Structure 1
Amino acid sequence: MERKPRRPTRVVEVGWVKIGGGHPVVVQSMTSTDTRDVSSTVAQIRELEEEGCEVIRVAVPDEAAAQALREIIPQIGIPLIADIHFDWRLAVAALKSGAHGLRINPGNIKGRENVRRVIEAARRAGACVRIGVNAGSLEKDLLKKYGWPRPEALVESALRWLDFIVGDLGYENVKVSLKSSDVWHTVAAYREFSRRSDFPVHLGVTEAGGLLPGTVKSALALGILLSEGIGDTLRVSLTAPPVEEVRVAWEILKATGVRRRGVEIVACPTCGRCEIDLIGLYQEVERRLRGLKAPIKVAVMGCVVNGPGEAREADVGLAGGKGVGLIFRRGRIVRKVREEELLSAFLEEVERFLAEREKEPQTR
């Protein structure tokens, strides 16, 4: 099955980052620091930037957090979105402090008049607004109508608020999310919304869980949607350090063929044929190459069955055997080394490959 073309959507702007309309799918995350702690928040955002985070969201639970944005924003290099719940006045304060966008759940802002106040402030600031519909905080009338947060209820909520914000208030710098902790409800909601609207969508499975279960749930739901051409920006929500969210997000984008950044590592599973410390070798390769931003595919293989074939398919690959190993570059054996030299020789070839690729003429 081939990945479908991206769904045509409108273009919205979060600061200087364009979302939708064929622009690259944007990776987001959210800080876990107390926003009022400026130094810790800035440090975490800078770490996330290094990992490939392109838009950051921070919690704004009170006025002090809103005011802290005045100090945070000048010290970071990516647009900042203020996460607002319950109190519309915090949205206004965050925008005055320089926030490039807002995430609001209209269901808990309490009333159209308060939502109107938020939108008018966003209009003055030129900020993007995400309508964040969530299964855990759906409007009471929709819960009564559907009995529980069905995908159809999430879609109706999103369309209702779009009709008010875009139709009645005339504000179009808007994107939408429809999140559930259930994989299939999430997929169904995004599919139906995308069938009925051309506004860009922010993908995510809410409350997905810890690093392993959250990664599996997010990869399944987001992988399905991205393969169907649905999705303009995404966050992988994990009960884990935010840096892991960004790493998983990029792995999903690479696996679906939507975007490439950094290293893609192909590695064989361990088995009785393996005669080298493959797990240790893999972990060290992953650690040493983690900081690379240039897209490159490498292979770390441990036996003679599939090893040479997979290694040949990578930009740079290694195939280990008893006491020796082969290094491949773009299908060609370039070195045969002793096992104890395998890691250093492999890393040297990666450096050479990247340096030579830099000199290659760029095709448009």
Structure 2
Amino acid sequence: MKSQNKTIILTIFSLQGGGAERFVLTLAQGFKQLGYQPHIICFKNQSDYCLPDDVPVHCLNYQAYRWIPKGLRYPIFAKVFDRFVKRHIAAEPALLLSNLWQVDQVLKYSRLPHRAFVIHNTQTQERQVHTELTDQALSRVYRGQHVVGVSRGVADDFAALVSTTRSLTAIYNPIDQPAIIQQAQEPLDKALTSGLAAGYLVHVGKFKGQKNHRLLIQAYAKTQRNVPLVLVGQGKLQAECEQLASELGIADDVRFVGFHSNPYGWIAGATGMVLSSDYEGFGLVIAEALALGVPVISTDCPSGPSELLPADNLVPVGDVVKLSEKIQDLMDNPAAYRSAFDSQLLPDKVAQRYLDVVGK
């Protein structure tokens, strides 16, 4: 007999930007649609999003425990976490989801049942940047756990590194198409949209190495630049990208419009979306663009884009010439790159698959 407990806990370090953070907020709504009560627990009180009124968000002060050596800190904070959940939320949640490495290292020690760990990126790529993700470290955290990869590519990559999980499942990220369409209708800042009425290309993502904005700007510079390029996001590499656009003589054609918690108006109004990433876990913004009927082209990352887009919409990773040619074709014939949205990505469908992982 299945448990009647209707409490779900989604845990993430903070709600500051990023696809994993949007994933948590969207999936919470999927559980609501199924009649569950989701709670979000963060380890840092920081958010770039308007938080939902119907989903409680709790913050635990992880910073206060940073003075403790990691080997002791993680199990100690796991006890703090468990005690908080039992006292303030539920003695035994129906499902506890852990998101991202910092949180996973703590919740590995949790004594709460029905845990699952969500892997948001290909670990072979992540470990090139985060050297602590050794085979030994990954095995220590995920051995005997339910693990979910946000794409088949992420799951396959993880399986090659860790063979001792309790279960390993690929579940695509949830996309709340009706909410996205509604949010896309909110007006954009007129000061930022001046001169864009005839169309533009859009990229949405943090300015970091993974997203390879440099490749995108270099490829765009080689096109006829029929329409401007709009870059939505912020990050430590933004100034470097602004300098590159200036050096290439295209500063007037490239718009840096900053981070927007609601990027959907920018996506909906675009002639097309371009992704230039070196790697993606799923490619959340691709699926969001498809939900809005916007054409998308992308680099063919080891996982993600090829699971959402036809082969003709993809170019090899790092190939500036091929990307430039594809961008030009997108500007000339955007309808050729429009793809259908998969209704299996709707939040309630995805939420049910997560419940299935732990037998709920």
The answer, yes or no, to whether TM exceeds 0.5 is no
Q: Quick check: which has more Rg, 1 or 2?
A: 1
Higher RCO (Cα < 8 Å, 6 or more apart): 2
Q: Give me the TM-score of the superposition, normalised by structure 1.
A: 0.28
Q: Which has the higher strand share?
A: 1
Q: Give me the TM-score of the superposition, normalised by structure 2.
A: 0.28
